[in-house]
Amino acid sequence: MKRSVAVCGSLILVVLFAGRLPADPPPAAAPAAIELAVGQALPAIAAVGDDGKPWLAAEHVGKKVVVMYFYPGDFTGGCIRQAVAVRDGLAKLEALDIEIVGISGDSVETHQLFKSAFGLKHTLLADPDGALAKQLGVPVQNGARVRTRNPDGKPILDAAGKSIMVERKSTLPRWTLVIGKDGKLLSKRTKVDPATDADEVAKLVADAK
């Protein structure tokens, strides 16, 4: 009988001790999502550039007009047309004191391959989980698997002679945001023609001066 009591007493102590164990710390809060509207200030955002280094908006906004164009993904038809249009119109954009960056759910490595294949000079930001897009209210959809191709439309091959396939975790819509030198959203375009977007942005910025 005494042995039973001792055992029960031990169990009670264990239960009481367990009840005083500290709770797991709450997960780190994700950046708050906003529906960025024209006239609002761009929040502090960051991503990774195609050079593998952090790209911080605070280091760019206020120095130039920053154009951020979101696009579905590297090596897809419309996105190739849009990137090439930016490439061909880059001198005109820079003459207007514009810094333009493309953003998709592709990885840094895929961006590097895309830039090399099409001779792109502007920065591409990697947003593989759609975190940056969500922070600015840009909708995010499931990713995709895409075959790479060169300007002639032929597959890009790896060292073994096999066609290179790339995967992205998230797919973003084709939106273009224009942030003025005052750090506020000058334009939010959610219906974009990839072939004419660069020219339209240049006209918008020129007219706003």
Tens of pLDDT, residue by residue, the chain (209 residues): 444 444 444 433 333 334 444 443 343 344 555 678 999 999 999 999 999 999 999 999 999 999 999 999 999 999 999 999 999 999 999 999 999 999 999 999 999 999 999 999 999 999 999 999 999 999 999 999 999 999 999 999 999 999 999 999 999 999 999 999 999 999 999 999 999 999 999 999 999 98
Check which CATH number belongs to the domain holding 182 and give it. Answer: 3.40.30.10
Note whether 158 and 164 are within 8 A (CB): yes
pLDDT of residue 35: 77
Q: Is residue 20 part of a domain?
A: no
Q: Is residue 26 part of a domain?
A: no
Residue in this structure with the two tokens 């797991």, named with its chain if needed = 24
Q: Is residue 33 part of a domain?
A: no
Q: Is residue 21 part of a domain?
A: no
Q: Is residue 112 part of a domain?
A: yes
pLDDT of residue 33: 58
Q: Is residue 27 part of a domain?
A: no
Torsion sign over Cα 201, 204, 205, 207: positive
Note whether 187 and 42 are within 8 A (CB): no
Q: List the catalytic residues.
A: 79
d(CA 158, CA 87): 25
d(CA 124, CA 107): 10
pLDDT of residue 209: 80
Domain extent at residue 100: 39-208
pLDDT of residue 16: 36
pLDDT of residue 25: 38
Q: Is residue 189 part of a domain?
A: yes
Q: Is residue 19 part of a domain?
A: no
* pTM reported for the whole predicted model: 0.84
d(CA 175, CA 177): 7
- Tally of structural domains, the chain: 1
